[in-house]
């Protein structure tokens, strides 16, 4: 099954993204903890894109696509006309550094990489696509 959602790049819309992911997956993912992890990873990816690639401009849009196959991994795509924000190119700060520098950011990338099996980037029809996948038993 496929689910789609389009949303403006305002941080106020993160709640809408979480509601969309929850609603789409509630019959497919039994564990509340796993469902929350997936919601968290999508929230982190979208907030990173909104802040770093779109500077929270609500007139810019992200499209989120969820593919739930009968077998195999769940696939999530964030489709974006803006600048690519490749988390694989960012080094993960150590927790010690985050504490010492009193940084409030940098944890999101660690979360996404811990939760998802794969994070890859591609272009399709001139648009950037960030594809995340996760095996759910």
Query: What is the Cα–Cα distance from 133 to 136, expressed in whole angstroms?
Result: 10
Q: What is the total count of residues that contact other proteins (CB under 8 A)?
A: 32
- Is residue 134 within 8 Å of residue 35, measured between CB atoms? no
Rounded to whole angstroms, how far apart are CA atoms 94 and 58?
32
Of 90, 89, 87, 78, give the one whose Cα is nearest residue 128: 78
Asked if residue 91 binds other proteins (CB under 8 A), the reply is no
Is 72 near other proteins (CB under 8 A)? no
Q: Is 75 in the site for other proteins (CB under 8 A)?
A: no
First-to-last alpha carbon distance for the chain, in angstroms, is 17
110 near other proteins (CB under 8 A): yes
Positions of E strands within 37-116:
61-67, 74-80
In angstroms, what is the minimal distance from the CB of 2 to other proteins?
A: 25
- Which segment (40-48, 83-91, 117-125, 126-134) binds other proteins by CB under 8 A? 40-48
The span from the CA of 25 to the CA of 3, in Å, is 9
Piece of the chain touching other proteins by CB under 8 A; list 64-72, 79-87, 99-107, 126-134: 99-107
Binding site for other proteins (CB under 8 A): 11-12, 14-15, 18, 32-33, 35-37, 39-40, 43-44, 47, 50-51, 95, 98-100, 102-108, 110-111, 114-115
């Amino acid at each position: 099954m496929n689910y789609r959602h389009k949303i403006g790049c305002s941080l106020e819309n993160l709640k809408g993204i979480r509601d969309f992911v929850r609603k789409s997956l509630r019959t497919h993912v039994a564990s509340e903890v796993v469902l929350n992890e997936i919601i968290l990873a999508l929230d982190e990816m979208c907030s990173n894109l909104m802040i770093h690639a779109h500077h929270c401009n609500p007139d810019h849009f992200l499209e989120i696509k969820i593919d739930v196959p009968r077998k195999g991994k769940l696939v999530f795509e964030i489709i974006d006309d803006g600048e690519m924000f490749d988390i694989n190119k960012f080094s993960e700060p150590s927790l010690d550094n985050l504490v010492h520098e009193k940084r409030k950011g940098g944890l999101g990338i660690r979360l996404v990489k811990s939760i998802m099996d794969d994070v890859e980037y591609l272009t399709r029809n001139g648009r950037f696509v960030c594809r995340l996948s996760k095996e759910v038993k």
